[in-house]
Structure 1
């Protein structure tokens, strides 16, 4: 309901970039530029300074931005309050999720939620857990599904479940014959790890530290943002990796990978996070409740369909 020009201007000012604003709004960059031009023509003054790869607010832009925050907030609240008078939830839902949850948990979550509320339009942004947490704290996202325990003051968290982390490797790899593996057992073997900011990367570092293994004793052979690539390299015998149980069930059934428990056991949390102190519509609350409940249920159910 709010003026689209104000929405676009607010996004550009908040992200400091036409490109990032376009990505956030699911628009093209020329369309964003056009909306800003229209708003500046309306006020007959420049609102943004463009230079050195960053967008900054002019004095007039600072005033417009302050009012835009208030107007857009009231608009969201108005839409939510009126929609809550109807029985059926509807509207856009901006969800951020880690790569593992996006691939192995989110499809079933969205299927069930869409069947229950067909008029809801989910918009999903995939990134590592740290990036998702930061975007929820910045109120760029309505809700996040992550694999870290958030301690950010701007985030409210709900612990939904946990998933065991396992060592994965080719069936002929020397580690494949072990019944369980301590940190010291992994020294001397090539380690295929995840990218910094990924929850499993952080948990693996802590596992080695607690196990008395120094950083220089770990033979990292690759650091990857793609879980599919991690599994492929492990299945090809290039080293071992640490992965979520949910992410490897099919590979184990088909014989491409072997999974070995860690000693002591290591788990990744499955958390639902929300911006703290933000007006929360019934739609956001309903999805957060549903995701928390369903993640807990799926974590205890057989993994045969994953």
Structure 2
């Protein structure tokens, strides 16, 4: 129901980038630029200052953004409330998840939920924990699942389940014979890590630091952008990695890698995040309840 130009403006204002807004909205950049131009002509004022490859909101743009957030929020709430009067759960469900959860946990859960509620149209957005938090805070996805504590003050966080992180290596690695490994035993060994911004990377770095292993002591040989690529490199024998138990189950069954617990054990809570003080539809509430129960099946 809300004016499309206002939706596009909101995305550009939050991203401060026409390119990023186009990606979020699944539009072309020229189409985004056209919508903003139309809105500026409608109000007869500039909403963005453009220069040196960067954009910023004008005072008029700041005012429009404040109203746009209220208008879009109320429009979304109206659509959902009217749909719920039919008594059936349905509609678009925008879920975001960091890569480990998205690749190894949520597909089955989303499939099962869709079977229970055929009129639901789920869409899964995948990114690292930092990206998912940002998308939830910007209201471009309904709910997010992340692997690290939330850093956004305007987000509510609920723990979903526990996940253990284990050292993984090739069966031919000297590490494979160990029953457990301390952080000190890993110093100077070739280390394959997730990328900066990853919840797994952040959590692992904090653990190593807490137990006396400083960043300069780690022999980082490669950074990978997904759990699957991380496991693939470890299988070659290049080095060891620290990975989620949920992500390595298949490779362990096939005997492609060996997993060794850390001492002390390294466990984390996987969390759901959603905006504070935001209306939550019956659809989102139903999915949160269902996902919470199913995610506990992955707990250690």
- One fold, TM greater than 0.5? yes
In the TM superposition, residue 151 of structure 1 has moved relative to its aligned partner by 5.4
1:102-117 residue pairs with structure 2 within 5 A?
A: 102-117=102-117
Which residue pairs with 2:150 in the alignment?
150
Distance 1:165 1:288 in 2: 24
Which residue pairs with 1:200 in the alignment?
200
Distance 2:290 2:74 in 1: 26
1:91-130 residue pairs with structure 2 within 5 A?
A: 91-130=91-130
Distance 2:82 2:230 in 1: 47
Residues 255 and 48 of structure 1: is their aligned pair in 2 closer, same or farther, counting only changes over 3 Å? same
Which residue pairs with 2:54 in the alignment?
54
Q: Write the deviation string for residues 167-188 of structure 1: whole angstroms up to 9, x where unpaired.
A: 1111110000111111122123
Residues 69 and 203 of structure 1: is their aligned pair in 2 closer, same or farther, counting only changes over 3 Å? closer
Which residue pairs with 2:256 in the alignment?
256
SS of residue paired to 1:262? coil
Distance 2:65 2:270 in 1: 36
* 1:20 equivalent in alignment to 2:13: no
Q: Write the deviation string for residues 130-178 of structure 1: whole angstroms up to 9, x where unpaired.
A: 2222332343332110111335431111111111111111111000011
The answer to whether the 8 Å contact 2:162/2:298 transfers is: no
Which residue pairs with 2:137 in the alignment?
137
| Total equivalences in the alignment | 300
Distance 1:17 1:151 in 2: 22
Comparing 50-59 with 256-265, greater Cα deviation is found at 50-59
Distance 1:262 1:7 in 2: 48
Which residue pairs with 2:214 in the alignment?
214
In the TM superposition, residue 258 of structure 1 has moved relative to its aligned partner by 0.9
Distance 2:152 2:65 in 1: 25
Distance 1:137 1:47 in 2: 22
Which residue pairs with 2:188 in the alignment?
188
Q: Write the deviation string for residues 76-113 of structure 1: whole angstroms up to 9, x where unpaired.
A: 11112111212222222222211111110110111011
Comparing 50-59 with 78-87, greater Cα deviation is found at 50-59
| Structure 2 residue ranges without an equivalent (≥5) | none
The answer to whether the 8 Å contact 1:146/1:271 transfers is: yes
Distance 1:64 1:215 in 2: 45
Distance 1:213 1:298 in 2: 29
Comparing 127-136 with 285-294, greater Cα deviation is found at 127-136
* 1:168 equivalent in alignment to 2:134: no
Distance 2:249 2:59 in 1: 56
Distance 1:72 1:198 in 2: 31
The answer to whether the 8 Å contact 1:13/1:65 transfers is: yes
Distance 1:62 1:200 in 2: 36
Query: What is the RMSD of the two structures over their aligned residues, measured on CA atoms?
Result: 1.9
Distance 2:243 2:143 in 1: 24
Residues 79 and 173 of structure 1: is their aligned pair in 2 closer, same or farther, counting only changes over 3 Å? same
Residues 155 and 66 of structure 1: is their aligned pair in 2 closer, same or farther, counting only changes over 3 Å? closer
Distance 1:299 1:10 in 2: 38
1:37-76 residue pairs with structure 2 within 5 A?
A: 37-76=37-76
The answer to whether the 8 Å contact 2:89/2:283 transfers is: yes
* 1:299 equivalent in alignment to 2:294: no
Which residue pairs with 2:34 in the alignment?
34
SS of residue paired to 1:274? strand
